[in-house]
Amino acid sequence: MEVCPVSPRILVAGPDRLDDYLRPYCEALRRAGADPARAWPTPDALADGADLQRFLAGYHGLLLPGGADVEPWRYGQAPHPMLGATDAELDEGQLALARLALRSGFPTLAICRGIQVVAVAVGAILCQDLPAQRPSAVRHRVPTPKDALSHEVELEPDSRLAALCGPGRFPVNSRHHQAVQDGERAGWVGPLRVVARAPDGVVEGIESPDHPFAVSVQWHPENLVDGRPEARRLFRGFVSACGRASCRQGGG
Domain assignments of the chain as residue spans, ordered by start? 9-248
CA angle 150, 153, 157 (to 5 degrees): 165
Residue 2 among the catalytic residues: no
Q: Give tens-digit pLDDT for 109-120.
A: 999 999 999 999
Residue 220 among the catalytic residues: yes
In the set 176, 177, 220, 230, the catalytic residue is 220
Q: Which CATH architecture has domain 9-248?
A: 3-Layer(aba) Sandwich (3.40)
* DSSP-based three-state secondary structure for 138: coil
Q: Model confidence at 167, in pLDDT bands (50, 70, 90)?
A: confident
- pTM score: 0.95
> Rounded mean pLDDT of 71-90?
97
In the set 151, 222, 230, 242, the catalytic residue is 222
In the set 60, 71, 112, 211, the catalytic residue is 112
Residue 140 among the catalytic residues: no
Rounded-to-integer distance, Cα 31 and Cα 53, Å? 28
For helices 113-121 and 88-104, angle between their N-to-C axes, nearest 10 degrees: 60
| Cross-strand pairs, 86 | 69
Rounded-to-integer distance, Cα 241 and Cα 52, Å? 22
Q: Give tens-digit pLDDT for 183-214.
A: 767 899 999 999 999 999 999 999 999 999 99
